[in-house]
């Protein structure tokens, strides 16, 4: 699903989501 976001969203927006996913990976895994 992460690779799917590479195609649909911009790289800047995806990079922000990637950082959020790293911080929240311990509690909840978020896959936008």
Is 31 within a domain? no
The helix or strand, by DSSP H or E, that contains position 2, with its residue range, turns out to be helix 2-8
pLDDT at residue 20 in the model: 81
Q: What pLDDT was estimated at residue 18?
A: 83
pTM: 0.42
Q: Using CA of residue 3, residue 31, residue 18, residue 28, what is the dihedral sign?
A: negative
Q: Tell whether 9 is covered by a domain.
A: yes
**What pLDDT score does 21 carry?**
78
d(CA 27, CA 9): 25
Domain annotation covers residue 32 = no
Distance separating the N- and C-terminal Cα atoms of the chain: 8
Domain count, the chain: 1
Instruction: Identify the domain containing residue 6 by its residue range.
Output: 1-26
pLDDT single digits (tens) 9-31: 677 787 888 888 777 766 655 55
Q: What is the pLDDT of residue 32?
A: 46
Token pair listed for 11: 């790289």
pLDDT given at position 24:
75
Q: Which DSSP symbol is given to 28?
A: -
Does 8 reside within a domain? Answer: yes
The confidence score (pLDDT) of residue 27 equals 60
């Amino acid at each position: 699903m992460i690779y799917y976001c590479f195609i649909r969203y911009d790289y800047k927006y995806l990079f922000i989501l990637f950082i959020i996913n790293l911080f929240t990976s311990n509690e909840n895994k978020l896959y936008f």
